[in-house]
Structures are given as C-alpha cells and as structure tokens.
C-alpha cells in the first residue's frame, strides 16, 4: 500500500522521516483471497495476552473489521495492516469491550503515517444507535480533530464518517462479490440490538456469532459454513449461585451448549473467541483445556480455541491455520 504524505512520526522509540512514498509490504499470510484473523479474543477483562474482541476479514482485496475492542489498532499494525486502509468497520452491539477501541481505529487511522493516512471517510456499519455513538465521539474529539487539521495538515475528508445503520437481519454490505449479512442473535432481553455476521465470497463463508446465548438464527446462518467463530463462557459450579456470575453466564454460551451448536452446524472448523473465564478468590478460572474438555461432551469435530493473531485461510479445499504469531 502506498502512503503519499510526508510526515515526521514516531514508530516505537525511533523517530523516522517519511519522505515521498512509503511502501508497507503485506506479510506472507495475506496471499490468500479469504483470510480471517482474530485480533482480540478476550472480554472486558484486561488481559495482557488477549486484546478486546475484534476480527479482521481480508476477502477479495477488501479489509473488513468486525468490532473494535481494546488494542485493535495494535494488533492491526502487528499484522502490518495500516489502520487507515480498512474498507469498513462493523459493530455487533454496544457493550464497551466491543467499542472501546473504536475512537483509536477512527482517529489513529487518520494520522499521516504508514499505520494511518486515511484520506477518505471512515465507514462504519452497525445496528440502530451507531450514528449516535459516532456523533458523540465526533463531539468528544473535536478539539483533537481541529488541532491535527490546522497544525499537521491532516485532510478533513479522512476524519469524516460514513455511517450506515440497519434495523433487522439482512445484507448490510455487498461489493465485488463479497456479501456481509447481519444476523440478529440473542444476547439477552436487555441487550438489544445485538447481531452476528456472515461473510460470503465465491461459495465460501465465515460466521461470527457476536455475543450471544444459543441462538437459532446463528445456527441457521452458519449451517455448513467453512468457519464458525463463536463466543464461549465458562464458570465453575459454585459461582453460578452468585447473582452476578449467573447473569453473565445467562448472556453467553457455555462450552457444552456451544458443542451442541457445532454438532448441528457441522462447520469445517469451529473456533472460540470472546472467551469468558469467570472466577473469584475461591473458584479459579477454567483453563482453556477445561473449556475444550467440556465442549467435547457434545461435539467431536474440528475445534480450535482462538488466540490473538491466529489467522485462518479459507480456500476451496478447506480451512487452514496460517499463523499463530506475528512479531
């Protein structure tokens, strides 16, 4: 990707001078035409090894971001994907762990550096309420926008927003053979709107469940999909007698229930993300091995517990894990 603006900028601890055209070379994993990367696989928990929920889908040359949790920009640049190069960002719902990184994606993607340099409006797609969210962010960061435009010459076109809202399930993006369909899920009676997404291209697909309890709509959308990325939540039995922990589990999908979903859907590969591991001083977290063991009570097919920066290449021949670490 070529970035034409000339800027002084910091990258790590080094002060660099970008002169003329900067070339950002994509890594080897980007060779596929349908690659999905888990940028963040955590929850509101501030874990150093797992960023907030966010998934990057690079398909037929388009870069589509689904949710923008804590640290999404860091993971994008670790993947050598300029933040300013995203074609669109999609929101599943408005819990803070899914939107906390949104100002960073929007604002840092605008800065005139190899990791930013967006010169067209920031495209955001989400359920009703997305416009209000962005309107308030624009007000909150107006001083920053004014300063960067006047002091650094950042183009106003690159910080403008292009927001598309939807009310119900249906196609919300269609371009060059790539279709994104919003699928209403069930995150609880008070947590609405809430959606997952199905991305299809050339007869292949990935379904991202979003935060949800077991949901028939997600099952039907995902039936026979190549890749099903599903949330999961686990807690030891004594915690379920405590109202807070019971409420959290009631808004999510347990490993045993997820296994039932996978058994019905028959994806080529099932992957866990947004891994909720509850605990208190008397009850330690489930381990990832515990989560897999519980899932195996109801599902014996292909299954991976996702980690940050894990990528999946969806080809006609199947789904393969491309990388599990990027320097």
What does residue 209 show for φ and ψ, rounded to 5 degrees?
-65, -30
3-class state of residue 308 by DSSP: coil
The Cα–Cα gap between 274 and 99 comes to: 14
Of residues 98, 68, 50, 105, the one with CA closest to residue 83: 105
97 belongs to the catalytic site: yes
Strands 318-321 and 310-315 turn out to be antiparallel
From first CA to last CA, the distance across the chain in angstroms is: 20
Reference 197, options 301, 32, 64, 40; nearest CA is 64
CA angle 290, 312, 207 (to 5 degrees): 80
Residue (of 234, 199, 226, 195) closest to 211 by Cα position: 195
- Pick the catalytic residue: 33, 87, 97, 290? 97
Say if residues 261 and 302 touch (Cβ distance below 8 Å). no
Max Cα-Cα span within the chain: 62
Active-site residue set:
97
């Amino acid at each position: 990707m070529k970035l034409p603006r000339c800027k002084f900028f910091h990258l790590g601890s080094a002060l660099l001078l970008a002169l003329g055209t900067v070339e950002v070379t994509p890594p080897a994993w980007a060779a596929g035409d349908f690659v999905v990367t888990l940028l963040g696989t955590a929850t509101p928990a501030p874990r150093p090894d797992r960023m907030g929920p966010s998934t990057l889908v690079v398909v037929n040359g388009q870069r589509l971001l689904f949710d923008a949790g804590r640290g999404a920009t860091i993971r994008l640049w670790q993947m050598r994907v300029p933040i300013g190069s995203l074609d669109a960002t999609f929101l599943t719902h408005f819990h803070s762990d899914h939107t906390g990184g949104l100002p960073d994606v929007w604002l840092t993607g605008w800065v005139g550096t190899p990791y930013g340099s967006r010169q067209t409006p920031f495209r955001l797609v989400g359920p009703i309420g997305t416009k209000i969210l962005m309107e308030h962010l624009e007000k909150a960061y107006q001083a920053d926008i004014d300063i960067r435009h006047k002091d650094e010459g950042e183009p106003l076109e690159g910080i403008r927003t292009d927001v598309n809202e939807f009310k119900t399930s249906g196609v919300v993006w269609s371009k060059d053979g790539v279709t994104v369909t919003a699928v209403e899920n069930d995150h609880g009676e008070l947590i609405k709107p809430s959606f997952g997404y199905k991305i299809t291209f050339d007869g292949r697909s990935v379904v991202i469940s979003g935060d949800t309890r077991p949901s028939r709509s997600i099952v039907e959308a995902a039936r026979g999909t190549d890749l099903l990325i599903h949330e999961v939540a686990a807690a030891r039995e004594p915690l379920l007698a405590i109202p807070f922990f019971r409420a959290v589990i009631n808004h999510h999908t347990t490993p045993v229930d997820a296994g039932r979903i996978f058994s019905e859907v028959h994806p080529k590969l099932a992957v866990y993300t947004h891994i909720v591991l509850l605990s208190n001083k008397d009850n330690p977290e489930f381990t990832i091995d515990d989560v897999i063991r519980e899932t195996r009570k109801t599902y014996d097919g292909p299954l991976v517990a996702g980690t940050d920066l894990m990528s999946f290449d969806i080809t006609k021949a199947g789904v393969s894990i491309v990388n599990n670490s990027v320097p």
